[in-house]
Each structure stands twice: as structure tokens, then as C-alpha cells.
Amino acid sequence: MWSEQEQKELDEILKKYPADRKMSAVLPALYLAQREKNWLDDADIAAVAEALDISVTHVHSIIGFYTLFRKEKSGKYMVQICTDLPCALRGAEAFFDRLCQRMGLGPDGGTTEDGLFTVEPVVCLAACDKAPMGQINLEYYENLTDEQIDEVIASLREAEKQ
Amino acid sequence: MGNELLSQYVLFRHRDVDNIRDIEVYLAHDGYEALKKAINGMQPDEVTAEVKKSGLRGRGGAGFPAGVKWGFIPKDITPKYVVVNGDESEPGTFKDREIMESNPHQFIEGVALTAYAIGAETAYIYGRGEFLGVFRGLQQAIDQAYDKGFLGQNILGSDFSLDIYLHLGAGAYICGEETALLNSLEGLMGQPRNRPPFPAVKGLYDKPTVINNVETLTNVPPIVLHGAEWYRQFGTEKSPGTKIFCLSGRVNKPGNYELPLGTPIRYLIEECGGGIIDGKAVKGILPAGASSTIMGGDKIDTDMDYESMVAAGGMLGSASFIILDETIDAVWAAEKNIKFFKHESCGKCSPCREGTFWLAGVYRKISEGRGTAEDVELLETIIGQMEGNCFCLLGEFVVPGVRSSLQLFKDEYQALVD
């Protein structure tokens, strides 16, 4: 399952922790396994368990607990907008609603028909002074206007065509 | 240099010195001089003693004296660990990110000094998963420090060696609770541990561990370099030093502001934040993020230090000031925070797991206009059952926000259920 490059990175990750504490690497290993297609299938989960000498059940419990791992296919790009109180005080909820409308999604977000984008509200991202803000696959976009986020999405869509 | 109340920045030195994130620039401005001073001329205990003398208190929220915490580490057990809490997930808090992005070497030097003081050879910096980009930059800074011999084997030719590793979490507010953070770092679900034993005795991998917040440790290099007396020129007798205040909500200029502890809230809102949007009145102040007691606008002249905030019925916590103005619906604001806590409850203990679930349900009923006077009373009952019964502080954090909202804005709740 691991590509040569991924195996190399995994070996580097494991060096950070004591040799008898490989389980410590479960979060970084899951990030690595999730990187290519943005979600985790059974093979990915089994590979993480095997690499770290832990049970598949334990890996499932970790994926269930931490919100940044996904067991269902999602859009290639996760567009996550913070709508917690500090951002909401600066218009983040209305910003999110308008974005969903323009993307042709329901009020809670969802995945676009082409499967490229999943739009969802998220809790605090520690950038409350730069609302409205959000992240696309963990890259931050801040002080957003409708026009700016549309441009980002259009450019990602354009890049996918090539 | 500095700002009106500070002759020079102690933590946000990038605002005084351009590009201090580059190690060459940092070195040209006393960079790593504190580490040299400690390794070449101070016993580890002397470093701890100086930090104790400075009165530096933990900046993550609890305000526990850092030097005292280090003093709890037993000497005869090895290995020891330094773990840095960079989980920064409290709504309204965004200061550690700016430190790590813009003044990373002062932070790294602080980690190294802490490790030297307690005799640790390994440090882990735990950051929230969304700090992927922040950690990319921080790793570059750490690599630079290795290249210059400030990290790694036999630092500056001494017996002291230190490796610093970065570890990203994956989206769980609870991991800011220090024992949950340790579990997460060990590859478990991030749920809190029983205390005692305390992390100082049995922490990471059951070994003695110091856990401090990013901002706390960034204070250490100037304290060691210039001395505790110098540091105490800032702040108050019991709350010495400067603090980064995160200002968000209905102000004209939200952002991070470094000020001496003891500065009045009014200065933060009016001078730093440029006042309230459209000149409206302050309705409520949440001084410690979502887990705050809400203070009324009449408390605007309270001094922002640990003692004065408590005396005024609030708390300083991580100093994340979320400002509500008169246009904001108080019930909506309280419900927002409850939704956050419901989402982030780790599920370990029933008072928090069930309490936040029920609070969210009752708030929804009230805000949708389906509530009754009994529902408002039910909110009181639920927080009463949570208070003192949650396994960790994060569950307890839910209580003061709801209680103070009910007290301060009773009319608004009443209007919704009449």
C-alpha cells in the first residue's frame, strides 16, 4: 500500500518516537495514508495498523475520535469555513450560506456534483481576527470576500482540467 | 518600537525587528544568547530559580507559575520530557500561531532552556492538526537551529543534548487539556487522565514531563538573559510580565496585542481595537474565549491581570477577548458556544457528554421560539449538575458561560419564552 516515497516518510516519522512506542505515530501515519485520495479505505487502515503493530480496531477508534480523518469519500478539496462565535460575529454564517448557494449546495454544505469540493462549516481554526476565514485541505484562507473564495475555487477547478 | 504601553516587545519581537524569523536576524538581536548564558554559566537549577523569581505564570489559561511546575520534576528518573502545548483551539485564541510563525526562534530557544532546566533530552511540540502550514515554517526554523548547533548532540560543546520533534494533532479541542494531549501523543484517543499522578511525575510514556504553553516558553529567553528583575518591570506584582491579548468580535481592529498584564480592558478595546464597529455600546466581554464567564460592558475598566479579572467576576484564562456589542443576540451567542462544546466533548464522562447534548437541545428549542420558562430553568439545572462533576476542566468550562449569560441577559431569554 505504501509507495516508495511514503515508506521513506513513514520511516522518518517513526524516528521521532522511542522504538517501543510506535503507536505514537498513528496520527502522522494516518495523515500520510490519507494524503493521496483525501479519505481512508480499509486497505489504508490495515496498512497503518500493520506498520505500527497495533490493531485495526484501535486505528478505527482513532479515526472516529479525530475529526480530520475521513472514512467516506469526500471531495478532493475540503472547503471548511469556521462559523464559531468570533467568526460569526463578523459575518461568517452569512458568508458560508452564500458560498453554499453559489456552489449549488444545501444550507449545511455538502459535495459538489463533480466530486471536487466538499463544503462544510467547522469549529474554531484559531484565526478569529481574520474572519471570514476557512481552510482548503488545511491551507488557510483569511479575510475572505465572496469574490476571493470564488476565485480560489475557480482556479482549483481550472487546475483540475489540466 | 514597542507600543504606547511597552518600550519594547518581549514576545512579539517580530513587530520591532523585521524578519526575526530568520536565524541570522535573530542572532543579530541577542538570539540564543540566553541559551549560551545558561549552558556556559548557570546550573539547571539556577535557570528554574530565575524563572520562579520572575513570577512567570502559565499562559495557556490556568496561570500556574511555570518555575514551580518545573520544580516538581523528580531528579532521579530518566528520561524526562518537555511537551509544548500548541493545540490552540479555544474559540477566540490565535496567539501561539503568530509566535510560531513570526518569532519561532525565541520560542525554540525557550523550549531548549526548559529542557536544560529540567534535564530533558527530548521535546515534543504538539500543534493542532490545522497548523500544518505553521509547522512547516517551524520545522525550517528548527532545522536552522540544528545547523547552528543550538539543538542536537552536545549543544555548544556541553553535555547537554536535545532533539525537538513536531507532532500534529488531528482536530480535537480536548487535546489542549494536558493529560489528553499526552494520550494523543502516545497514539491514544485524546481523553484526559486521572490526576494524580501528575505529568511532572508520570507524564509522557509514564516519565517526568513538563507541559507548557507556547507563549509561556517564549517568555523564558528574555527572563534568563535579562534576569527576573528586568522582567518584573512589566505587569503587576502578582501577574508580572507582558501578555498577548487576542481581541476578536465586534471591534474595528481585531488582532493580537501584546500589553503589560494589568492594562485595563478599555485600552485593549478602544486604543488597540479602534473601538466598537459603528460606535455601538459594549454588551458583553468574554475574556477567556468560549469558556469564559461573560462580563457585562460595565466591567470595561477592569485591569487585565489574573487577580483583578477574578475580583471582577471574570477570569483571564488565555486572554482571548471576544467582544459582543449591543446588536448581538445574547441567546444566539451562548448557543453558538454550547454547540462548540457539544461538538468537542470527548465523551469520556457523562456530565460533559450528556450535559452539552442537553444544553444544545434546550438552547435550540428556546432560540426557535418553542421554549417555555421551565426550559430556561432547565438550563440552570443542567449546568448545576455539570458543575464540579466533570472529569476534566474542559467540561467545567461550559458552566460559567451559560450561568453568566442567564444572569446578565435574563430579559432576552424571557422574551423568547413568553
Domain positions in chain A are 4-65, 77-161
Nearest-angstrom CA–CA distance, A133 and A18: 38
Q: Any bridge partners for residue B6, and if so which?
A: B3
- CATH of span A77-161: 3.40.30.10
Distance from CA of A51 to the nearest CA of B (A): 13
Of B187, B320, B336, the CB nearest to A23: B187
**Is B89 near chain A, with CB under 8 Å?**
yes
**Is A18 near chain B, with CB under 8 Å?**
yes
Nearest-angstrom CA–CA distance, B203 and B308: 33
Using an 8 Å CB-CB cutoff, list chain B residues near A68.
129-130, 170-171
Asked if the structure places residue B8 within a domain, the reply is no
* Average pLDDT value over all residues in chain B: 96
Return the percentage of chain B with pLDDT > 90, whole number: 97
In a shared domain, residues B169 and B286: no
Asked if the structure places residue B5 within a domain, the reply is no
Choosing from B325, B345, B373, the residue where a domain stops is B325
In a shared domain, residues B180 and B117: yes
In a shared domain, residues B282 and B394: no
**Is A69 near chain B, with CB under 8 Å?**
yes
pLDDT digits (tens, 9 = 90+) for B345-373: 999 999 999 999 999 999 999 999 999 99
Peptide bond into B79 cis (omega under 30): yes
In a shared domain, residues B82 and B218: yes
Nearest-angstrom CA–CA distance, B158 and B138: 25
Contact (CB, 8 A) for B416 and B331: yes
Nearest-angstrom CA–CA distance, B383 and B396: 9
**Per-residue pLDDT at B4:** 82
Whether the per-residue pLDDT at B5 is higher than 80: the answer is yes
Assign residue B164 the CATH number of its domain: 3.40.50.11540
Tally of domains within chain B: 3
**Is B51 near chain A, with CB under 8 Å?**
no
Helix axes A26-34, A4-14, angle to 10 degrees: 160
Q: Any bridge partners for residue B162, and if so which?
A: B152
Of the candidates B121, B77, B103, the residue with the CA atom closest to the CA atom of residue B19: B103
pLDDT digits (tens, 9 = 90+) for B159-213: 999 999 999 999 999 999 999 999 999 999 999 999 999 999 999 999 999 999 9
> Cβ contact (<8 Å) for A66 and B128?
no
> Cβ contact (<8 Å) for A27 and B168?
yes
Whether the per-residue pLDDT at B30 is higher than 70: the answer is yes
Cell numbers linked to A78: 475540503
pLDDT digits (tens, 9 = 90+) for B130-173: 999 999 999 999 999 999 999 999 999 999 999 999 999 999 99
Asked if the structure places residue B80 within a domain, the reply is yes
Strand, helix or coil for residue A159:
helix
**Is B240 near chain A, with CB under 8 Å?**
no
State the best of A85, A133, A140 to mutate against chain B, taking most chain B CBs within 10 Å: A85
Q: Any bridge partners for residue A141, and if so which?
A: A134
Whether the per-residue pLDDT at B2 is higher than 90: the answer is no
In a shared domain, residues B88 and B180: yes
pLDDT digits (tens, 9 = 90+) for B224-275: 999 999 999 999 999 999 999 999 999 999 999 999 999 999 999 999 999 9
Nearest-angstrom CA–CA distance, B162 and B153: 7
**Is B98 near chain A, with CB under 8 Å?**
no
Using an 8 Å CB-CB cutoff, list chain A residues near B343.
123
The enclosing H or E element of A51 equals: helix A42-52
Return the percentage of chain B with pLDDT > 70, whole number: 100
Q: How far is CA B349 from the centre of its chain?
A: 24
Size of interface A-B (CB pairs under 8 A): 142
Phi, psi for residue A123 in degrees, rounded to 5: -85, 175
Nearest-angstrom CA–CA distance, B169 and B179: 14
Nearest-angstrom CA–CA distance, A118 and A134: 13
- Count how many residues are written for chain A: 162
Nearest-angstrom CA–CA distance, B312 and A23: 46
Structural domain boundaries enclosing B172: 13-231
In a shared domain, residues B337 and B375: yes
State the best of A20, A32, A63, A124 to mutate against chain B, taking most chain B CBs within 10 Å: A124
CB atoms within 10 A of CB B143: 12
| Phi-psi region at B249: left, alpha or beta (left = phi > 0; alpha = psi -120 to 50) | left
What sign does the dihedral B353-B356-B359-B360 (CA atoms) show?
A: negative
Asked if the structure places residue B216 within a domain, the reply is yes
Domains A4-65 and A77-161 share a fold: no
**Is B137 near chain A, with CB under 8 Å?**
no
Of B168, B246, B333, the CB nearest to A28: B168
In a shared domain, residues B411 and B302: no
In a shared domain, residues B353 and B404: yes
In a shared domain, residues B297 and B396: no
Contact (CB, 8 A) for B120 and B210: yes
Asked if the structure places residue B101 within a domain, the reply is yes
**Per-residue pLDDT at B1:** 59
Split at pLDDT 50, 70, 90, the class of B376 is very high
Asked if the structure places residue B376 within a domain, the reply is yes
Asked if the structure places residue B4 within a domain, the reply is no
Cα torsion for B270, B272, B277, B278, to the nearest 10°?
Answer: 50
Distance from CA of B341 to the nearest CA of A (A): 10
What count of Cα atoms within 13 Å lies in the side-chain half-sphere of residue A42? Answer: 0
In chain A, which residues have pLDDT < 50? none
> Cβ contact (<8 Å) for A85 and B133?
no
Using an 8 Å CB-CB cutoff, list chain A residues near B121.
none
pLDDT digits (tens, 9 = 90+) for B72-113: 999 999 999 999 999 999 999 999 999 999 999 999 999 999
In a shared domain, residues B351 and B317: no
Asked if the structure places residue B1 within a domain, the reply is no
> Cβ contact (<8 Å) for A65 and B333?
no
- CATH of span A4-65: 1.10.10
> Cβ contact (<8 Å) for A126 and B167?
no
Assign residue B350 the CATH number of its domain: 1.20.1440.230
Choosing from B325, B344, B362, the residue where a domain stops is B325
**Is A89 near chain B, with CB under 8 Å?**
yes
Sheet (strand B320-325) strand order: B255-260, B242-249, B320-325, B282-290, B295-296
Distance from CA of B235 to the nearest CA of A (A): 25
Contact (CB, 8 A) for B82 and B123: yes
Q: Any bridge partners for residue A109, and if so which?
A: A106
Assign residue B321 the CATH number of its domain: 3.10.20.600
Nearest-angstrom CA–CA distance, B411 and B418: 10
Split at pLDDT 50, 70, 90, the class of B21 is very high
Split at pLDDT 50, 70, 90, the class of B7 is confident
Using an 8 Å CB-CB cutoff, list chain B residues near A96.
none
State the best of B248, B294, B335 to mutate against chain A, taking most chain A CBs within 10 Å: B248
Q: Which residue of B has its CA nearest to A127?
A: B94
Which pTM does this prediction carry?
A: 0.96
In a shared domain, residues B222 and B257: no
Contact (CB, 8 A) for B330 and B409: yes
Using an 8 Å CB-CB cutoff, list chain A residues near B333.
85, 89
